[in-house]
Amino acid sequence: MNADHTDTRDAHLDLEDLIAGAAGQPVVGRAREHLAGCGECQREASRWNLVADGVSGLADAAPPASQPARPRRTGRPGLSRPWRRALLVTGSVAAALVLLVGGGELAGVVHVHVGQGGGGTDLTAVTGCSQLQQAGGTLEQIHGSSLVIKTASGRPVTVTTTATTFVSQSGNLLGQLTDGASVRVRGPRSGGAIQAALVTIGQPFSAVNPEGPAPVQGTVADASQTGFTLVTPRGARERVTTSGDTLVVVAHARLGQLQAGTAIFALGQAGPDGTLAARAVAAISQPPSGKHLRVSVRDCSTSSIEAAIGRISVAPVSAG
Amino acid sequence: VNDPHRGRGAATFSAGHDPARDDAGLLRRIGQGDDDAMAAFYAEHGRVVFAQVLLVTGERSLTEEIVQDTMLAVWRGADAFRGASSVRSWVIAIARRQTRDRLRGRRLRVVDDTYLADQPDSGPGPEAMALDRAELAEVMGAIRQLALAHREVLGLAFGSGLSLSEVAGVLELPVGTVKTRLTAARTALNGILEQKGQNR
């Protein structure tokens, strides 16, 4: 904090405090106390927050679309294979979830519909993008960068991933809500606390935007089994309660985080031997019971695919 | 506060996840030729690097090439990482050098607008009012119109998950100069928004 100003008892927040706050880091101690009572600093913080939101908005609006930087040549031996590797492992449990991809009837919009029954082959064409196939079922095994899905037909499908495969994970993943996590919380307020219905961890993706209360962004502090304190970029602290109904979405998960037995959905290009080279994967540990998901995609773009995955991730609280 | 992975745009993944330790481990594995580690590294940092480079270049195809070259440099140079900085700032610094080289080859200015970029803030005034009235979409559009050095410093400060001292390290500038540039960037942003408001 900087030197005293003539019209305030405490020093105003300095630029470093404001930048840190706008960058999502908690404002603590005297700075937080000062911010709570200083209108000038609150206005300054709000301006910087808007600038930061603008930068984040530009980043969200232009996700990387192409194949990642696969090393093209190297003097190091042993990199003759690509990052994408196919590993065929047999499965055992019938899929509980059937996910069908339908037509993209509304430009710029991705829909997920929940319906009864349904079924399909192991890999199903995706209407609206002839390059894409989809597979859904139960995650049986993860091996390196590949995973095996048991489809509704009972047959295993091997899904290969690369560095740019978009992987999301959703469910009652309260253990992921640890101190320092950057989150967006949605839910009704009651008794001075937010009753979390949906918590998104990490960078949100566009489709995680269901109807309902506007999200509150911040950082997790004092995490416990019943909730946590949300520290907003402006330094405000709000109590958030969680329960068995709270849906947690890890927007950019790692394959290693996924659990066997989870309902899973993958979009990608069909490869040899019935494998699927995934562009996106969604793991859902709380799928809508006894239902199947029907997804409409706009086009083959990465943003459309990620939007579809986002919709699937929040299907337990938004599909209907 | 200085944890580069706690800020906006940095995902926190799981209980017990230690980004610094994981990143160092990934680089060690990359140095041993583990392409799965390279994939994991890209998953951890690729998105942020892409966004930063795109903010600077404004060209998607060029950005993809630069990110590709950056990741190739990581693959080749993982052994050279000594932990003097965070892995995030290290890879962003690599991307910045790649960007500079590419833009220099296209006869575009990268860092020679430093003088203009670091002009001091004129202080509170009508510009601040413009920012107070602005919608997010307007701010995003105005950021695109900023000078390269301003876009760059805003992206590093708010989109890369770096601390201010790490931003200074990437830009090879004193922290004080980074603060000045940030303030100047916001002033310029306010000016663009004010101009747009007058043209409505």
Nearest to B13 among A46, A83, A257 (CB): A257
Chain A 8-47, CB below 8 Å of chain B: which residues?
Answer: 15-16, 19-20, 22-26, 28, 43, 46-47
Interchain CB distance below 8 Å, A55 and B143: yes
CA–CA dist B25, A38 (Å, integer): 44
The 8-class DSSP code of residue B160 comes to S
Q: What is the pLDDT of residue B128?
A: 56
| Chain A residues inside the 8 Å CB shell of B142 | 54
Q: What is the pLDDT of residue A209?
A: 56
Give residues with Cβ within 8 angstroms of B150, minimum separation 6: B117, B181, B184, B185, B188, B189
- A243 compared with B130, residue with greater pLDDT: A243
CA–CA dist B144, B171 (Å, integer): 20
By the 8 A CB rule, do B163 and B13 touch?
Answer: no
Interchain CB distance below 8 Å, B132 and A175: no
By the 8 A CB rule, do B105 and B80 touch?
Answer: no
Q: How far is B39 from chain A (nearest CA, A)?
A: 4
Interchain CB distance below 8 Å, A182 and B7: yes
- For tokens 């959703």, what's the residue? A170
- Residue ranges in chain A whose pLDDT is less than 50: 3-9, 66-121, 207, 290-291, 319-320
pLDDT exceeds cutoff 60 at B132: yes
Chain-centroid distance of CA B105 in Å reads: 21
By the 8 A CB rule, do A44 and A18 touch?
Answer: yes
Query: What DSSP element (H or E) covers A58?
Result: helix A39-61
Interchain CB distance below 8 Å, B51 and A47: no
Average pLDDT over residues B147-170: 92
Which segments within A2-110 are labelled E, that is strand? Answer: 98-102
A-B C-beta contacts closer than 8 Å? 209
Give A160: exposed, middle or buried? Use CB within 10 Å, 0-12, 13-18, 19+.
Answer: buried
pLDDT exceeds cutoff 70 at B163: yes
Q: How far is A181 from chain B (nearest CA, A)?
A: 5
Chain A 145-164, CB below 8 Å of chain B: which residues?
Answer: 145, 161-164
Going by pLDDT thresholds of 50, 70 and 90, the confidence category of residue B5 is very low
Query: What DSSP element (H or E) covers A59?
Result: helix A39-61
Give the helix ranges, DSSP H, for chain B: 19-31, 35-57, 60-77, 87-105, 114-117, 126-133, 136-145, 148-159, 164-171, 175-199
pLDDT digits (tens, 9 = 90+) for A170-203: 888 898 899 988 888 888 888 788 889 889 887 6
Q: What is the pLDDT of residue B18?
A: 46
Residue A89, chain B, CB below 8 Å: the answer is: no
By the 8 A CB rule, do A100 and A80 touch?
Answer: no
Burial A11-25 (b: 16+ CB within 10 A, else e): bbbebbbbbbbbbbb
Residue A10, phi then psi, degrees to nearest 5: -110, 160
What proportion of chain B, given as a percentage, has pLDDT over 90? 34
Interchain CB distance below 8 Å, B69 and A64: no
- B199 compared with B165, residue with greater pLDDT: B165
pLDDT exceeds cutoff 60 at B25: yes
**What is the torsional sign of CA B144, B148, B150, B151?**
positive
pLDDT exceeds cutoff 70 at B119: no
By the 8 A CB rule, do A65 and A72 touch?
Answer: no
Interchain CB distance below 8 Å, B14 and A54: no
Average pLDDT over residues B51-56: 93
Interchain CB distance below 8 Å, A254 and B40: yes
Q: What is the pLDDT of residue B138?
A: 86
pLDDT exceeds cutoff 90 at B155: yes
Query: What DSSP element (H or E) covers A277?
Result: strand A276-284
Q: What is the pLDDT of residue B99?
A: 93
- Among B2, B3, B5, B6, the strongest candidate for a mutation testing the A interface, having the largest count of A CBs within 10 A, is B6
Q: What is the pLDDT of residue A225?
A: 86
Residue in B with minimal Cα distance to A205? B9
Residue A181, chain B, CB below 8 Å: the answer is: yes
Q: How far is A224 from chain B (nearest CA, A)?
A: 12
Among residues A20, A28, A26, the alpha carbon closest in space to that of A52 is found at A20
Residue A50, chain B, CB below 8 Å: the answer is: yes
- For tokens 């919380």, what's the residue? A185
Residue A277, phi then psi, degrees to nearest 5: -90, 105
Threshold 0.80, pTM exceeds: no
By the 8 A CB rule, do A165 and A296 touch?
Answer: no
